[in-house]
């Protein structure tokens, strides 16, 4: 991975963003490895923005605009702050106040929108607001995290890191939102070994793998639209995980292994642990996308969990329901063998 460094005395010191894009690979149990990022979405944000800066597509005075309610916004904020360029984030009320303050402290502006009657989707409303912003600021650069394949390409160095440190015979488990991290990583891995399996982790209320659009308590994965960066044929298996299960497993990951991560990491840990039990002798790597500090007043707060009726550890089950088509999926945990098929083959073929 190329690293931009600056001379300090006789030493070469990396920028903050350079130090954060490579995860720690931690073997937490026999056959189970966590790829623990401090902030995984910094990987595509840094790649896309710096590439656009170098080739002249990014006007440093016009800056960057993107839609995000989570860590992609923070990744962009860190990169733009380092480069000294303005950035504008279009988000919605689900963004937590701590994250919004961090974005504004890094010099950005945040615009909150809600779903309107015509769209029925807050993500569509956000995209409409973003396009309206670009109509007023046509030179602003839009990284297009959902659609630009450069976001997928940014994970090539991560895949190479896995090949170098883990080898070329393992199962990869990752959460799915834009599709960039899972599809970008596996596409590179399979150039070396086409047999490497990919297990995607989604949540109920997300349309990505054929469920109806609905309210999603578990954020950071799932979507209410279909991103172009999601390549369904990459997936061997897909799991849908409930918020209560993901929150419980994030806390379990911390209590058992000292990894203080966010709820999407809890979801991937839950699925990866089960996968490892089904494949003794194989190595399972799960992507832990960000640290847990944003969630201290939610996922890691007993009072908040009780107030949201999410203090449900006793209801966690040890295995998923296995179904043959998405319409059969049921909470709290369901699995489907996707078998590298297209969305149409699985969803429309099951009707």
* Three-class SS of 277-291: HHCCCCCEEEEECEE
Task: Share the mean pLDDT of the chain.
Answer: 90
How far, in Å, CA of 16 to CA of 39, rounded? 12
Alpha helices in the chain (DSSP H): 16-20, 42-55, 71-83, 97-105, 122-136, 150-153, 156-165, 180-192, 243-257, 263-278, 302-307, 343
Q: How far is CA 150 from CA 68, 143, 157, in A?
A: 17, 9, 13
Tell me, what's the pLDDT at 93?
A: 87
Q: What is the pLDDT of residues 54-67, one digit of tens each?
A: 999 999 999 999 99
Same domain, 199 and 319: yes
Say if 77 falls within a structural domain.
Answer: yes
Domain residues for 93?
59-136
Same domain, 187 and 326: yes
Same domain, 166 and 63: no
The encoded tokens of residue 184 equal: 């970008």
Q: What is the DSSP string of 112-127?
A: E----TTT--HHHHHH
Q: What is the pLDDT of residues 273-317, one digit of tens each?
A: 999 999 999 999 999 999 999 999 999 999 999 998 886 555 667
pTM for this model (two decimals): 0.91
Tell me, what's the pLDDT at 96?
A: 86
Helices and strands in the chain: count of H runs, count of E runs: 12, 13
Q: Are strands 64-67 and 87-91 parallel, antiparallel or unpaired?
A: parallel
Tell me, what's the pLDDT at 14?
A: 46
Same domain, 274 and 195: yes
Say if 17 falls within a structural domain.
Answer: yes
The answer, yes or no, to whether residue 3 has pLDDT greater than 60, is: no
| Residue at which a domain ends, from 136, 169, 195 | 136
Q: What is the pLDDT of residues 242-251, one digit of tens each?
A: 999 999 999 9
Say if 307 falls within a structural domain.
Answer: yes
Same domain, 64 and 132: yes
Tell me, what's the pLDDT at 115?
A: 67
Say if 54 falls within a structural domain.
Answer: no
Same domain, 323 and 215: yes
Total number of residues shown for the chain: 351
Number of domains making up the chain: 2
Q: Tokens 């799932």 correspond to what residue?
A: 222
Same domain, 198 and 310: yes
| Residue at which a domain ends, from 74, 107, 136 | 136
Say if 350 falls within a structural domain.
Answer: no
Same domain, 322 and 193: yes
Backbone angles phi, psi at 97, to 5 degrees: -60, -35
Residues of the chain above pLDDT 70, percent: 91
Same domain, 130 and 159: no
The answer, yes or no, to whether residue 4 has pLDDT greater than 50, is: no
Same domain, 158 and 231: yes
Say if 23 falls within a structural domain.
Answer: yes
The answer, yes or no, to whether residue 5 has pLDDT greater than 70, is: no
Tell me, what's the pLDDT at 201?
A: 98
Same domain, 333 and 215: yes
DSSP three-state, residue 108: coil
Taking CB atoms within 8 Å and a gap of at least 24, the contacts of 88-97 are 88/63, 88/64, 88/133, 88/137, 88/140, 89/65, 90/65, 90/66, 90/126, 90/129, 90/130, 90/133, 91/67, 91/126, 92/122, 92/125, 92/126, 94/69, 94/122, 94/219, 95/69, 95/70, 96/294, 96/298
Q: Collect all residues with Cβ–Cβ distance below 8 Å to 111 and sequence separation of at least 6.
A: 88, 89, 90, 91, 129, 133
Same domain, 84 and 32: no
**Residue 282: which of 293, 294, 272, 267 has the closest Cα?**
272
| Residue at which a domain ends, from 136, 171, 203 | 136
Q: Exposed e or buried b for every residue in 132-156, given b needs 16+ CB within 10 A? A: ebbeeeeebbbbbbbebebbbbbbb
Say if 149 falls within a structural domain.
Answer: no
Q: What is the pLDDT of residues 143-153, one digit of tens each?
A: 999 999 999 99
Q: Tokens 């806390």 correspond to what residue?
A: 251
Residues of the chain above pLDDT 90, percent: 79
Tell me, what's the pLDDT at 207?
A: 96
Q: What is the pLDDT of residues 9-52, one digit of tens each?
A: 444 444 666 767 899 999 999 999 999 999 999 999 999 999 99
The answer, yes or no, to whether residue 2 has pLDDT greater than 50, is: no
Say if 228 falls within a structural domain.
Answer: yes
Contact 267, 218 (CB under 8 A): yes
For residue 118, the domain's CATH number is 3.40.50.1100
């Amino acid at each position: 991975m190329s690293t931009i460094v600056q001379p300090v005395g006789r030493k070469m010191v990396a920028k903050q963003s350079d130090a954060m894009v490579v995860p720690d690979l931690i073997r937490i149990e026999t056959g189970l490895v966590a790829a623990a990022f401090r902030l995984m979405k910094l990987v595509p944000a840094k790649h896309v923005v710096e590439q656009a800066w170098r080739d002249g597509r990014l006007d440093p005075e016009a800056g960057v605009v993107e839609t995000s309610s989570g860590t992609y916004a923070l990744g962009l904020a860190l990169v733009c702050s380092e480069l000294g360029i303005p950035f504008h984030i279009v988000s919605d009320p689900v963004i937590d106040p701590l994250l919004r303050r961090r974005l504004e402290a890094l010099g950005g502006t945040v615009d909150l929108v809600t779903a309107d009657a015509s769209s029925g989707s807050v993500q569509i409303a956000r995209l409409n607001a973003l396009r309206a912003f670009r109509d007023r600021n046509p030179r602003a650069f839009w990284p297009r995290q959902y659609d630009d394949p450069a976001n997928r390409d940014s994970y090539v160095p991560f895949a190479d890191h896995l090949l170098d440190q883990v080898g070329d015979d393992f199962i990869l488990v990752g959460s799915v939102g834009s599709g960039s991290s899972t599809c970008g990583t596996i596409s590179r891995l399979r150039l070396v070994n086409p047999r490497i399996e990919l297990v995607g982790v989604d949540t109920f209320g997300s349309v990505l793998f054929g469920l109806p659009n609905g309210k999603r308590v578990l954020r950071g994965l799932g979507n209410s639209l279909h991103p172009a960066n999601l390549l369904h044929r990459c997936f061997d298996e897909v799991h849908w995980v409930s918020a209560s299960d993901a929150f419980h497993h994030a806390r379990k990951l911390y209590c058992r292994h000292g990894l203080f991560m966010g709820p999407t990491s809890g979801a991937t840990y839950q699925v990866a642990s089960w996968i490892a039990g089904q494949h003794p002798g194989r190595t399972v790597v799960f992507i832990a996308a960000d640290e847990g500090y944003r969630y201290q007043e939610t996922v890691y707060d007993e009072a908040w969990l009780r107030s949201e009726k999410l203090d449900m550890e006793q209801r966690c089950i040890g295995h998923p329901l296995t179904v043959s088509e998405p319409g059969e999926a049921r909470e709290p945990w369901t699995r489907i063998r996707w078998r590298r098929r297209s969305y149409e083959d699985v969803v429309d073929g099951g009707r």
